[in-house]
Amino acid sequence: MARVFIFILSLSVAFPGFALNRFEALRWVDNQIPESVVLRHKELVAQLYATSGNQLIWYNDETIHGFEQLLEVLAIADLSDLFYKRLVRLKEARAAHRAMEYDIIATDTLLSYVSYTELSPDNGKAWYFGGRVPTFLPEPSDESRLLLIRAIKEARLTHYIRQYLAVSKEQQVLNAMLEKLLSSQFEYKRYVQDDALKRLGDRLNDKTALVERLAIVGVDTSKINPETETFDTETEHAVIQFQKLHGLKPDGIIGRKTMKWLNISIEERARILALNSERLRLWNLEQEDTMIVNVPDFRLRYWNNGETSFDTKVIVGRRSRKTPLINTNMNAVILNPTWNVPRKIMVKDIIPAIKRDETYIEKHQYEILADWVSEQTVDPDELNWQAIVPERFPYRFRQHSGPGNALGLYKFNTPNRNAIYLHDTPSKYLFDRETRAFSSGCIRVQNADKLATLLFDSRTSERMRKKVAEKDKVEKSNYVISLNKTIPVHIIYQTAWMESGLVQYRNDIYHYDRLNKSETFDQKIAKLSILDKLLSKQ
């Protein structure tokens, strides 16, 4: 109650006319907009205009463009019916020069948008990975309302929209790239080739279309002569750069995977950019001292003191056992760990494997324990494996430490309720694969020994480093090396992001991007395009 009183008091100080009749203010608002428009925050909108003498708030072109650009990102991301419909209403009102109607709808929409930005850190995972932003959003917090009122009173709404609503520099850069992509003058027609593969020396049937599709993502095509039909060295270099931007094998050959990315429409690329721009609201990507695993990129990066200390490939969960998106902290490295097998893996993988081959236990160095708290062992030869129902199995499995252990020689401890951690692996050959979604949810790290050594050097005491040097990790099980200071670990999902001035794209391995696309997406984009063309002629 105290916070509400402070807000109302601040509002009355900021706008002396706050005491105007509530019903008159509401009636005035009703008279300015069509009956078909239902305001989400009508009371607050009426108060805002009553206290400011019913003056226009949205009178600056830069303010209008900045806010509509934010709404366009949400509309193109296909995340919100509310913000899409409001954006259409605003463009229609602007095209018809209905200034006060535009003003009131924009103000009401801004209040919903402020609420959206406040709720996205906690609710964004449900929205950005197959869900939608709800049509009805609560009132913004008292603090946010007060900030907005001050921005309006001090004629700083443009600054407020630019600095407060776009949450990070990364998001602002992606939004700028999105706007650039949509303003492209290319026809961007479908690129079709007559053979399964095209490589250096081959004939290209539509080189101009190919060059346009390479250039649209920022590839330097200035040295390519589009008038010739030859797949020359300059074209090969450009194709390699294109492949690198999409996480493909950079072999310079136009095959099925490269063709898929070449033929994605501008509208679909825009949707991927917009969706991933909004996802940036979820992650704390401050690169001062943090570890980030981007699941679709199959890559781990570790920043220490603001510099990249470690960058390596990882293996993530397969589609049926997705790696969860979490924020956690690394607090220790465990040398030569044993593996307490999760029940899901025991039921779905290990027991069926034993039914096929009862020597599986011995081959993989498993032992069976009486229950999840006991150290009492159970003789596997005494069990009738063919009669066992995996879901009813009362015991647990543990795998002995050693080079063949599923966790390898290093486990990087990250306590979390999902029991997801980073670890080494004996299956090193899998890191050579282009797509690396093979695990049951945990993250396998290439060059885990180098990461461990780096952490020992920078995160453990001199006394602990000497202890590590003195002991043989192959013979010592579960030797825990605590870190002096924990490391924030963010497991994220970005299928598009900025890197070295260019947008990187990756395959949507869990189909999260696909789940966010509605059946009416193409019609929505077409509608916005028509309105933009109409406004550009004015």
Instruction: Name, in order, each residue with C-beta under 8 angstroms of 426's C-beta and a sequence gap of 6 or more.
Output: 403, 404, 405, 406, 408
Predicted local confidence at residue 474, as pLDDT: 46
Q: Residue 23, class by beta-carbon neighbours within 10 Å (0-12 exposed, 13-18 middle, 19+ buried)?
A: exposed
Question: pLDDT value at position 186?
Answer: 61
Residue 517 confidence class, pLDDT cut points 50, 70, 90: very high
pLDDT at 245 over 90: yes
So what's the pLDDT on residue 315?
98
Tokens of 94: 């602007």
Is the pLDDT assigned to residue 125 strictly greater than 50? yes
Q: How confident is the model at residue 182 (pLDDT cuts 50, 70, 90)?
A: confident
Band of pLDDT at residue 489, cut at 50, 70 and 90 = very high
Over 50: is that where the pLDDT of 18 sits?
Answer: no
Question: What percent of the chain stands above pLDDT 70?
Answer: 90
Amino acid in the structure at residue 162: R
State the catalytic residues: 423, 442
Strand partners, 99: none
**What is the amino acid identity at position 451?**
L
pLDDT at 99: 94
Is residue 318's pLDDT more than 70? yes
Residue 471: per-residue pLDDT? 54
Q: What is the pLDDT of residue 190?
A: 63
- Under 8 Å between Cβ of 334 and 411: yes
pLDDT at position 371 is 85
What secondary structure does DSSP assign to 384-425, as a single string? Answer: -GGG--GGG--SEEEEPPSTTSTTTTEEEE---TT---EE--
pLDDT (average), residues 324-353: 93
Confidence category of residue 5, pLDDT binned at 50, 70, 90: very low
Share the mean pLDDT of the chain: 88
* Burial class, 369, CB count within 10 angstroms (exposed 0-12 / middle 13-18 / buried 19+): middle
Average pLDDT, integer, range 226-241? 95
Tokens 């270099």 correspond to what residue?
Answer: 237
Give the pLDDT band (50/70/90) at residue 314: very high
- 285-495 carries CATH number 2.40.440.10: yes
pLDDT at 15: 43
Instruction: Indicate if the pLDDT at residue 220 is higher than 50.
Output: yes
Q: Given a cut of 70, is residue 17 above it in pLDDT?
A: no
Which pLDDT value is given to residue 168? 79
Residue range 32-53: average pLDDT?
89
**Residue 103 pLDDT:** 95
Q: Is the pLDDT of residue 473 over 60?
A: no
Q: Of the given ranges (287-291, 307-311, 363-367, 471-475), which has the lowest mean pLDDT?
A: 471-475
398 vs 236: CA distance, rounded Å: 51
Name the range with the highest mean pLDDT among 45-54, 132-141, 179-188: 132-141
- The tens digit of pLDDT for each residue in 153-177 reads 888 999 898 877 766 788 888 888 8
Instruction: Give the pLDDT of residue 277.
Output: 95
User: Residue 20: pLDDT above 60?
Assistant: no
19 has a pLDDT exceeding 50: no
pLDDT of residue 123: 96
Domain ranges of the chain: 16-166, 202-272+497-536, 285-495
pLDDT score recorded for residue 392:
93
* pLDDT per residue as tens digits for the range 369-403: 998 788 899 999 999 999 999 999 999 999 999 88
How many percent of the chain have pLDDT more than 90?
64
CA–CA gap between residue 469 and residue 472 (Å, rounded): 8
Q: Higher confidence at residue 28 or residue 296?
A: 296
